[in-house]
């Protein structure tokens, strides 16, 4: 069973002459251990699609199954729980807390949970190690490079061990070399931990590193092909 399965999902905003069809009858599935690059021009519906998969938005039509469960049928509390426990978001622009260290930024995620502190610290250190951030663990966010910040944002999204990672433009402000390192770190985490991931990007060189490439244009998927 795929982790994520969208069936003819549509989402529009506004009404009448002002209506925008941001996502139009999209069908897409993402399997365990798979990174799907979602590529398309500005305004093509990429962020809207991520928000739908993460239950930040509800579709106007269609069905979204996660581990076989229809998340569009969830009430407010189930949606909150789903977003908190099963989805890891990395939003456009990595939004770290500036004056906390890399490690403190990871531990922040645990503050509203019931997991014990030592276990959280172990998990944070393990993720920092795996994302090649152990050396900058105690540096404040403002002193980190763009690529390091993006990897911290990915580590933070992984703290709760989500099944689904939704990553919006992780390499937008980075040069090729730093961007490639961020994408490769993401790939190895998803493969190692058997997550499913959608990574939005404008940059075809980054998209080409993923397991699969899906192209979106005006809210509709225009191509979907494996890359390995």
The one among 14, 93, 98, 113 contacting ligand ATP by CB under 6 A: 14
The one among 6, 28, 35, 40 contacting ligand ATP by CB under 6 A: 40
Minimum CB–partner distance for residue 124 and ligand ATP (Å) = 30
List for the chain the helix, strand, coil content (%; round to 5).
40, 30, 30
- Gap between the Cα atoms of 79 and 88, Å rounded: 14
- Gap between the Cα atoms of 88 and 54, Å rounded: 8
The one among 8, 19, 20, 205 contacting ligand ATP by CB under 6 A: 20
Q: Is 12 left (phi over 0), alpha (psi -120 to 50) or beta?
A: beta
Q: Which one of Mg ion, ligand ATP, none interacts with residue 15, CB within 5 to 8 A by kind?
A: none
Asked if 24 interacts with ligand ATP (CB under 6 A), we say no
Nearest CB to Mg ion, comparing residues 5 and 47: 47
Tokens of 103: 């490690």
Asked if 201 interacts with ligand ATP (CB under 6 A), we say no
Please identify, among the stretches 42-50, 78-86, 176-184, 206-214, the one whose residues bind ligand ATP according to the rule CB under 6 A: 42-50
- Gap between the Cα atoms of 189 and 192, Å rounded: 5
Please identify, among the stretches 37-45, 64-72, 104-112, 156-164, the one whose residues bind ligand ATP according to the rule CB under 6 A: 37-45
DSSP strand E in 40-177: where?
61-66, 69-70, 87-90, 164-168
- Gap between the Cα atoms of 126 and 70, Å rounded: 33
- Gap between the Cα atoms of 136 and 82, Å rounded: 31
Nearest CB to ligand ATP, comparing residues 45 and 88: 45
Name the residues that contact Mg ion, by CB under 5 A: 47
Asked if 48 interacts with ligand ATP (CB under 6 A), we say yes
Does an H or E element contain 47, and which?
Answer: helix 46-53
Any idea how long the chain is? Answer: 228
Please identify, among the stretches 1-9, 44-52, 61-69, 73-81, the one whose residues bind ligand ATP according to the rule CB under 6 A: 44-52
The one among 4, 22, 35, 53 contacting ligand ATP by CB under 6 A: 22
Minimum CB–partner distance for residue 150 and ligand ATP (Å) = 16
Residues paired with 9 in a beta bridge: 26
Give the residues lining the site for ligand ATP (CB under 6 A): 13-14, 20, 22, 40, 42-48
């Amino acid at each position: 069973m795929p982790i994520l399965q969208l069936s003819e999902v549509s989402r529009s905003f506004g009404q009448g002459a002002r209506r925008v069809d941001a996502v139009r009858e999209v069908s897409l599935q993402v399997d365990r251990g798979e990174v799907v690059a979602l590529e398309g021009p500005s305004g093509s519906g990429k962020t809207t699609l991520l928000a739908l998969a993460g239950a930040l938005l509800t579709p106007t039509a269609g069905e979204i199954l996660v581990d076989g469960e229809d998340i569009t049928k969830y009430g407010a509390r189930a949606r909150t729980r789903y977003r908190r426990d099963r989805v890891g978001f990395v939003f456009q622009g990595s939004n770290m807390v500036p004056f906390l260290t890399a490690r403190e930024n990871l531990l922040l995620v645990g503050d509203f949970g019931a997991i014990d502190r030592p276990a959280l610290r172990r998990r944070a250190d393990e993720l920092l190690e795996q994302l090649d951030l152990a050396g900058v663990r105690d540096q404040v966010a403002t002193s980190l490079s763009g690529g390091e910040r993006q990897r911290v944002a990915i580590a933070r999204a992984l703290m709760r061990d989500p099944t689904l990672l939704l990553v919006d433009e992780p390499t937008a402000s980075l040069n090729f070399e730093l961007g490639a390192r961020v994408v490769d770190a993401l790939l190895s985490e998803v493969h190692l931990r058997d997550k499913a991931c959608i990574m939005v990007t404008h940059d075809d060189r980054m998209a080409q590193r993923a397991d699969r490439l899906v192209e979106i244009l005006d809210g509709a998927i225009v191509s979907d092909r494996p890359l390995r």
